[in-house]
């Protein structure tokens, strides 16, 4: 009996010694700067960024403790983001979605898991100078405007439209700042379509089409003369509007009678 108890005790000791505890590190993010690069290539000394799914037995679809969530690891270290800059103890390692934004997988777009759901903050977790860098995708905004324009829209090969403020290229993680009509307010309009050359994005507003060419950082507001909530919107646009070139590489959707040279 004594021999059996000794063996059990030894097994418990060995088990406790071999059990590997998770290593965590808290990162303080910075707000993105125009022209900032996130397309670094890894070297042999760099740890890999990984995105890992977790499934809980209970929980809600969204929220601070969702049933399905993801963590991010840099090597063996779990990444926690300090979401409240004024409180070092307020950090989070749970994300509701994420995707690598470059082919070498050194830049990962994530959305934090909290009570704001799909309107929660977005971050880029990236390799920079052999270290991990966390960047918050946010621009100074005095007026939030319509919160329905906050979120993520996949535009196809061009990338992702984020909060009507950014376009992110999924191949090289380049982040374009979309030109705002008002400096202190994100674009107020529902994304509608893009130009054939994919450089201009069109946003539907109550009485106009706000358009921004993200590659040339130019915009235009074109009057729109019908109620956008009524049926037949796309047919009306096809019959009354045409893509016209202002110069090579820059086109806008204009009324057919507009004097600009037609593509």
Judged by average pLDDT, the poorest of 94-98, 197-201, 258-262 is 258-262
What percent of the chain is predicted at pLDDT more than 90?
71
pTM value > 0.85: yes
Residues 6+ apart with CB under 8 A from 101: 38, 107, 108, 109, 124, 159, 168, 169, 170, 173
Is the pLDDT at 1 greater than 80? The verdict is: no
Residue 9 pLDDT exceeds 70: no
* Domain boundary assignment for the chain: 1-138
pLDDT of residue 3: 55
Lowest mean pLDDT among 11-15, 33-37, 67-71, 79-83: 11-15
List the structure tokens of 57: 């037995």
Longest CA–CA span in the chain (Å) reads 98
pLDDT tens for each residue of 135-172: 999 999 987 778 889 999 999 999 999 999 999 999 99
Contact indicator for 211, 217 with CB cutoff of 8 Å: no
State the pairing for strand pair 152-154/131-136.
Answer: unpaired
Note whether 164 and 178 are within 8 A (CB).
yes
DSSP secondary structure letter of residue 20: P
Nearest Cα to Cα of residue 150 among 170, 192, 121, 124: 121
Give the Cα separation of 253 and 247 in Å (integer): 13
Q: Which two tokens stand for residue 150?
A: 């906050």
Tokens in use for 252? 């806008």
Over residues 244-258, the mean pLDDT reads 86
Whether the Cβ atoms of residue 101 and residue 124 lie closer than 8 Å to each other: yes
Q: How far apart are CA 62 and CA 116, in angstroms?
A: 8
β-strand partners of 177: 166
pLDDT of residue 20: 55
> Residue 155, SS3?
coil
């Amino acid at each position: 009996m004594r021999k059996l108890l000794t063996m059990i005790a030894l097994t418990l000791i060995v088990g406790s010694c071999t059990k590997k505890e998770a290593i965590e590190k808290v990162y303080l993010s910075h707000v993105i700067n125009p022209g900032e690069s996130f397309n670094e290539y890894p070297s042999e000394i760099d740890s890999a960024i990984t995105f890992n799914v977790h499934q809980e037995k209970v929980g809600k679809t969204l929220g601070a403790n969702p049933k399905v969530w993801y963590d991010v690891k840099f090597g063996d270290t779990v990444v926690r983001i300090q979401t409240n800059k004024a409180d070092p103890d307020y950090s989070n390692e749970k994300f509701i979605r994420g995707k690598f934004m470059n082919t070498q997988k050194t830049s990962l777009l994530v959305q934090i898991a909290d009570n704001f759901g799909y309107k929660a903050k977005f971050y880029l977790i990236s390799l920079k100078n052999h270290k991990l860098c966390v960047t918050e995708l946010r621009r100074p905004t005095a007026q939030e405007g319509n919160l329905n324009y906050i979120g993520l829209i996949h535009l196809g090969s061009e990338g992702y439209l984020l909060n009507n403020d950014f376009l992110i290229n999924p191949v090289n993680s380049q982040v374009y700042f979309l030109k705002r009509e008002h400096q202190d307010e994100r674009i107020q309009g529902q994304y509608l379509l893009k130009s054939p050359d994919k450089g201009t994005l069109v946003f539907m507003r109550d009485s106009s089409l706000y358009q921004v060419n993200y590659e040339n950082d130019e915009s235009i507001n074109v009057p729109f003369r019908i109620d956008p909530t009524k049926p037949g919107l796309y047919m009306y646009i096809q019959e009354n509007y045409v893509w016209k070139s202002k110069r090579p590489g820059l086109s806008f959707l204009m009324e057919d009678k507009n004097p600009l040279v037609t593509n």
